[in-house]
């Protein structure tokens, strides 16, 4: 399968090029040249298939021409060494729990898949010294760092905004060592993202080192996120007789850079029967404003309790425009928006916990509330529970008034020693640093 750039100013790229480059030469994002529609027989039997079987079917549709079936199946198996269960929270509203992976957030799926696909191409092509640059507002860094840890031929630089990610999140990418370097940037997440983008555009830098991105713009990261939409649907069919007759599923996606939502939209175009989507935002509600006005006005992000969604200029927005040929009306028919301030997040976490016993994280809270407010009687709602609440322990403890337990997987990270390098948000300084760092590494 080939990939085109959303800016349409560059030739088509194969999978390897799209994965290794991340961003197209014209600064556009890669999109699959066609979206395969899965056969009716697949949907007829989907509730009898395992997660692995479902994911293989979807993966094969996209990557089957580029990666041998047995290898692809193994990549899927290694990626999904954990489940994504659907759990009922309140009447007709379900959480799709995406936090059972190694870093307890949904980004494990995309990051683990991408690391393995990149590793496959490195081995196949004999590539050397691929450098992954990743900007993170919290969870991307940990998922990517852990997904790539110890993969030969790859060095990962994680850029994160100093003082703006939780201690637990920070420990997940600053304590690893090996092929992972954490860079603590004096600035915001948008500054980190801008540094990464500038690096890809810098000619001199790209002549000296092979750079790639592991942000959700990478096709090998965002496409596999469609796997769990299908798996969620299969689980719902098994749980909910009513749904079987009506097929009125609504997915609600807590959104930051909109990679997760885009993967859901693609699943729908592959034939998954989804009635509509909701993009749940915190106060950084640029997308909601776009839906309301037709105008896209990026603005600096503001800090909120749901900090992985503190994004002022969502990178995958152009993919959504592209999917619907820039037609605002079509987009508003398929996706609605929602915005949730910090007080409302607190209230939602607290009330949901008290009334149902289900503990939301701040991101999932935005998703749950958006469904609660808009679900119609003939709809079944699923919100993506994108991270485990313990990743935001301080916030959650304060809201519910007691100390929640930290899962074993997280405790291990917290015992490690922090190793990070502080840099300003100045591109020249960043560039000098990685060139020097590369020389020291590979001398």
Ligand X SMILES: *Cc1c(COP(=O)(O)O)cnc(C)c1O
Query: Please, which residue, 62 or 121, has the CB nearer to ligand X?
Result: 62
Q: Which of 102, 256, 264, 337 binds ligand X (CB under 6 A)?
A: 256
Packing angle, helices 139-148 and 167-174, rounded to 10: 20
107 binds ligand X (CB under 6 A): yes
What is the C-alpha separation between 232 and 325, in angstroms, rounded? 28
Min dist. Cβ of residue 255 to ligand X (A): 4
* Active site (annotated) includes residue 239: no
259 binds ligand X (CB under 6 A): yes
136 binds ligand X (CB under 6 A): no
Question: How many C-alpha atoms does 182 have within 13 Å on its Cβ side?
Answer: 28
From the list 21, 107, 164, 197, the catalytic residue is: 107
What is the b/e burial string over 394-422, where b = at least 16 CB atoms within 10 angstroms of the residue's CB? ebbeebbeeeeebeeebeebeeeeeebee
Min dist. Cβ of residue 105 to ligand X (A): 5
Distances (CA, A) of 252 to 373, 380, 381, 422: 12, 11, 7, 37
Q: Which of 16, 216, 268, 395 binds ligand X (CB under 6 A)?
A: 216
Q: Among 170-178, 253-261, 337-345, 401-409, which window interacts with ligand X (CB under 6 A)?
A: 253-261
Query: Please, which residue, 304 or 386, has the CB nearer to ligand X?
Result: 386
387 binds ligand X (CB under 6 A): yes
Packing angle, helices 69-79 and 107-125, rounded to 10: 140
Q: Which of 260, 268, 284, 301 binds ligand X (CB under 6 A)?
A: 260
Query: Please, which residue, 175 or 260, has the CB nearer to ligand X?
Result: 260
Min dist. Cβ of residue 363 to ligand X (A): 4
Query: Please, which residue, 97 or 248, has the CB nearer to ligand X?
Result: 97
Q: Among 183-191, 255-263, 296-304, 352-360, which window interacts with ligand X (CB under 6 A)?
A: 255-263
Positive or negative: CA dihedral 293, 294, 295, 300: positive
Q: Which of 57, 97, 108, 139 binds ligand X (CB under 6 A)?
A: 139
What is the C-alpha separation between 388 and 221, in angstroms, rounded? 20
Q: Among 86-94, 249-257, 412-420, 422-430, which window interacts with ligand X (CB under 6 A)?
A: 249-257
255 binds ligand X (CB under 6 A): yes
Nearest to 182 by CA among 157, 163, 162: 157
Min dist. Cβ of residue 441 to ligand X (A): 29
CB 162 within 8 A of CB 129: no
Query: Please, which residue, 140 or 181, has the CB nearer to ligand X?
Result: 140
141 binds ligand X (CB under 6 A): no
Query: Please, which residue, 224 or 256, has the CB nearer to ligand X?
Result: 256
Map residue 4 onto helix, strand or coil. strand
Positive or negative: CA dihedral 49, 55, 59, 64: negative
224 binds ligand X (CB under 6 A): no
Burial (Cβ within 10 Å: 0-12, 13-18, ≥19) of residue 240: middle
The torsion angles phi and psi of 180, rounded to 5 degrees, stand at -115, 125
Considering just the CA atoms, what is the radius of gyration of the chain in Å?
A: 21
| Residues binding ligand X: number (CB under 6 A) | 18
Nearest to 308 by CA among 111, 112, 106, 102: 106
What is the C-alpha separation between 37 and 45, in angstroms, rounded? 16
Q: Among 81-89, 187-195, 251-259, 349-357, which window interacts with ligand X (CB under 6 A)?
A: 251-259
101 binds ligand X (CB under 6 A): no
Q: Among 57-65, 259-267, 333-341, 399-407, which window interacts with ligand X (CB under 6 A)?
A: 259-267
**Enclosing H/E stretch for 322:** helix 317-323
257 binds ligand X (CB under 6 A): yes
Query: Please, which residue, 212 or 260, has the CB nearer to ligand X?
Result: 260
386 binds ligand X (CB under 6 A): yes
Here the tokens at position 239 are: 């749980």
Positive or negative: CA dihedral 322, 328, 334, 339: positive
> What DSSP line would sit under 340-398, residue for residue?
--HHHHHHHHHHHHHHH-----HHHHHHHHHHHHH--TT-EEEEEE-B-GGGGHHHHHH
Q: Which of 22, 119, 147, 254 binds ligand X (CB under 6 A)?
A: 254
Q: Which of residues 300-339 bind ligand X (CB under 6 A)?
A: 308-309
Q: Which of 120, 160, 258, 368 binds ligand X (CB under 6 A)?
A: 258
Residue nearest to ligand X (CB): 139
> What DSSP line would sit under 236-259, residue for residue?
HHHH-HHHHHH--EEEEEE-SSSH
Query: Please, which residue, 54 or 279, has the CB nearer to ligand X?
Result: 279
Contact footprint for ligand X (CB under 6 A): 105, 107, 139-140, 216, 254-261, 308-309, 363, 386-387
Kindly list the catalytic residues: 107
């Amino acid at each position: 399968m080939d990939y085109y750039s959303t800016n349409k100013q560059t030739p088509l790229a194969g999978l390897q090029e799209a994965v290794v480059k991340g961003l197209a030469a014209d600064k556009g994002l890669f999109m699959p040249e066609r979206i395969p529609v899965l056969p009716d027989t697949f949907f007829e039997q989907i509730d009898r298939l395992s997660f692995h079987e479902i994911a293989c079917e979807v993966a094969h549709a996209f990557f089957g021409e580029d990666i041998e079936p047995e290898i692809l199946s193994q990549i899927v198996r290694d990626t999904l060494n954990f489940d994504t269960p659907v759990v009922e929270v309140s009447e007709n509203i379900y959480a799709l729990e995406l936090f059972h992976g190694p870093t307890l957030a949904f980004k494990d799926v995309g990051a683990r898949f991408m690391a393995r696909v990149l590793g496959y191409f490195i081995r196949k092509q004999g590539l050397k010294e691929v450098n992954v640059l990743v900007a993170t507002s919290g969870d991307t860094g940990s998922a990517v760092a852990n997904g790539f840890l110890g993969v030969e031929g790859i060095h990962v630089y994680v850029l994160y905004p100093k003082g703006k990610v939780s201690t637990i999140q920070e420990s997940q990418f600053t304590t690893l060592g090996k092929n992972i370097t954490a860079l603590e940037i004096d600035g915001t997440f948008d500054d980190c993202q801008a540094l990464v983008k500038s690096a890809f555009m810098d000619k001199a830098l790209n002549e000296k080192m092979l750079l790639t991105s592991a942000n959700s713009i990478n096709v090998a990261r965002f496409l596999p996120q469609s796997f769990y939409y299908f798996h969620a649907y299969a689980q719902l069919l098994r749980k909910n007789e009513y749904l079987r007759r009506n097929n009125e599923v609504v997915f609600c996606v807590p959104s930051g850079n909109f990679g997760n939502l885009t993967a859901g939209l693609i699943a729908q175009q592959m034939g998954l029967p989804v009635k509509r989507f909701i993009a749940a935002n915190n106060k950084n509600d640029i997308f909601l404003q776009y839906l309301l006005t037709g105008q896209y006005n990026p603005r600096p992000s503001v800090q909120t309790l749901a900090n992985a969604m503190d994004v002022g200029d969502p990178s995958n927005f152009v993919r959504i425009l592209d999917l619907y040929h820039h037609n605002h009306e079509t987009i508003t028919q398929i996706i609605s928006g929602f915005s949730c301030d910090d007080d409302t997040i607190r209230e939602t976490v607290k009330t949901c916990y008290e009334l149902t016993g289900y503990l939301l994280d701040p991101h999932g809270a935005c998703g749950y509330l958006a469904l609660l407010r808009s679900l119609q009687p003939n709809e079944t709602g699923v919100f993506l529970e994108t991270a485990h609440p313990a990743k935001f322990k301080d916030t959650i403890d304060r809201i519910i008034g007691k100390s929640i337990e930290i899962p074993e997987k997280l405790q291990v990270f917290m015992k490690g020693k922090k190793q990070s390098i502080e840099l300003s948000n100045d591109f020249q300084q960043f560039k000098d640093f990685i060139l020097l760092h590369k020389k020291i590494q590979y001398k």
